[in-house]
Amino acid sequence: MHFRHILSALARHRIAVCLLVLEIAFSCAVVCNALFLIGARLERMHRPSGADESHIVQVHVRSVAATSPEATMAQTRTDLAALRAIPDVANVSVVNQTLFGGSFNGSGVSLSDAPKAPSVTVTQYFGNQQLADTMGLKLAEGRWFNPDEFVSDEQLEGEGATVPVIISRALAQHFFPGQSAVGKVIYAFGTNRVVGVVDTLVQPRDYGAAEFYEYAMLFPVNLSYAEGTYLLRVRDASQRDAVIRDAIHALKTDGPLRLLSPKDATTLEAAREKYYRNDRAMAWLLVGVCLLLLVVTAVGIVGLTSFWVAQRRRQIGIRRAIGATRGDILRYFQTENFLIATFGIVLGMMLAYGLNLLLMLHYELGRLPGWYFPVGAVILWIIGQLAVFGPALRASNVPPVVATRA
């Protein structure tokens, strides 16, 4: 098969070919960037949090009457005992902020106590001695807090405080690259000596640059229920709903003069699903856009190829009459479509790169990895070959007798 003959035939239909090339190029540019965006959304949705999400439920209680800090703390101890007594509850704690929640509690952290020292905003978790076990955190190096190191919220922020801290591995690598962070000093609430490093601990919600997501600190602070949320770790994930019902009943019984709604009690997995609801919707929207573009491109290929087959019936009949087989005719149209698709894909890759630069400039999107280009090319080549197969098959069935007709 001579490509020169195919190119010569395409040159006689320059306008139609150019339109189809532009359509394929546009589809290639959009599909490559859409696939990249979908991949980025999926990666974001499945980022590990470091917590044992499948075994954690959270219950938030609101106080409706002003009470003394001592009375509130006494009520908290009563609540913790009642929640710990629920069957299938392995541990209970109070935490100042929950993963995939609506709040962000953070402070500036630096390696110097100088007033203008460079700092990074890092999220901070306050919790009692059971918090690490309740969340299912994994210690990478160092130790957990000792019982005598736990303080109140006021003591943490007091002048001259020297409360120990446990930090995430990502934060340790940021401040102390290539070194062990255990024993080092950071400055967040006064002088804080690092006693441990957890493998993974992340922000409760996205705040700041993407690399800050895994920057987190854990402080030994005894909180009351009015300052945080109850976290419960269940032994059997299938019993989470039953534990939530029992927890609500226990808390209403222990403290009737408080607000507690079933909406304030949920599993951590449900909280994750709700938090990433918009990302999931965007991913499906982009999938729909890709499918629509590919369908439109396929319809364009089918329509144009069918038109060319109708125009070339006599030439096809002549080729059949001088010995061309049905396979020759089929391969001719498939090769022709492959060339058109290739021209469109090459132009589309350049457009995809330009579109990615535009998104990087205005939406802080990452650079489009090179492997998305061959993926987009293969998809469009396959779509083109499938779309042209029907009209090409009809062309191969044109009988040689057509050549003898006027």
Is the CB of residue 237 less than 8 Å from the CB of residue 131? no
How many whole angstroms separate alpha carbon 316 and alpha carbon 81? 87
Identify the CA nearest to 98 among candidates 269, 278, 277, 279.
269
> Distances in Å between the alpha carbon of 179 and those of 156, 184, 397?
27, 10, 73
pLDDT in tens, 333-389: 788 778 888 888 888 888 888 877 777 777 667 777 778 788 888 888 888 888 888
Give the pLDDT score at 153: 79
Gyration radius of the chain over CA positions: 32
The percent of residues above 90 in pLDDT, for the chain, comes to 38
**406 falls in which pLDDT band (50, 70, 90)?**
very low
| Region 25-44 average pLDDT | 86
| Region 276-290 average pLDDT | 91
Helices vs. strands in the chain: H and E counts, helices first? 12, 13
Residue 84: alpha-carbon gap to chain centroid = 34
Tally the C-alpha atoms within 13 A of residue 155's C-alpha that lie toward its C-beta.
13
Give the pLDDT score at 82: 92
Is the CB of residue 98 less than 8 Å from the CB of residue 264? no
The percent of residues above 70 in pLDDT, for the chain, comes to 92
- Please determine, for residue 264, whether its predicted confidence score (pLDDT) is greater than 80: yes
| Region 385-401 average pLDDT | 76
Identify the CA nearest to 112 among candidates 23, 192, 7.
192
How many whole angstroms separate alpha carbon 172 and alpha carbon 194? 9
Q: Cβ neighbours of residue 18 under 8 Å, at least 6 residues apart?
A: none
Sign of CA dihedral 348, 350, 354, 359: positive
Tokens of 367: 């650079």
- Residue 88, SS3 per DSSP: coil
pLDDT in tens, 161-210: 688 999 999 999 999 998 999 999 999 888 899 999 999 999 998 887 78
Write b or e for each residue in 84-123: b if 16 or more Cβ atoms lie within 10 A of its Cβ, otherwise e. Answer: eebebbbbbbbbbbbbbbeeeebeebeeeeeeeeeebbbb
Provide the whole-model pTM: 0.80
Tokens of 50: 């470091």
First to last CA, the chain: 28
Element (H, E) at 247: helix 240-254
Give the pLDDT score at 81: 93
Tally the C-alpha atoms within 13 A of residue 272's C-alpha that lie toward its C-beta.
18
Is the CB of residue 150 less than 8 Å from the CB of residue 163? no
Is the CB of residue 217 less than 8 Å from the CB of residue 188? yes
Give the pLDDT score at 177: 92
**27 falls in which pLDDT band (50, 70, 90)?**
confident
- Residue 306, SS3 per DSSP: helix
pLDDT in tens, 290-323: 888 888 888 888 887 777 777 777 777 777 777 7
Give the pLDDT score at 270: 93
Mean pLDDT over all residues of the chain? 85
Q: Please give the single-letter amino acid code of residue 163.
A: V
Give the pLDDT score at 236: 92
- Please determine, for residue 253, whether its predicted confidence score (pLDDT) is greater than 90: no
The answer to which of 33-37, 373-377, 395-399 has the lowest mean pLDDT is 395-399
Identify the CA nearest to 231 among candidates 363, 338, 39, 99.
99
Q: Please give the single-letter amino acid code of residue 123.
A: T
- Residue 229, SS3 per DSSP: strand
Tokens of 350: 């350049």
In angstroms, how far apart are the furthest CA atoms of the chain? 105
Q: Cβ neighbours of residue 237 under 8 Å, at least 6 residues apart?
A: 54, 55
> Distances in Å between the alpha carbon of 5 and those of 11, 230, 374, 381, 384?
10, 76, 28, 21, 20
pLDDT in tens, 108-153: 899 888 878 888 999 999 999 999 999 999 999 999 999 999 988 7
The answer to which of 41-45, 104-108, 221-225, 309-313 has the lowest mean pLDDT is 309-313
Is the CB of residue 357 less than 8 Å from the CB of residue 278? no
- The residues with which 123 forms a beta bridge, in sequence order, are 106, 216
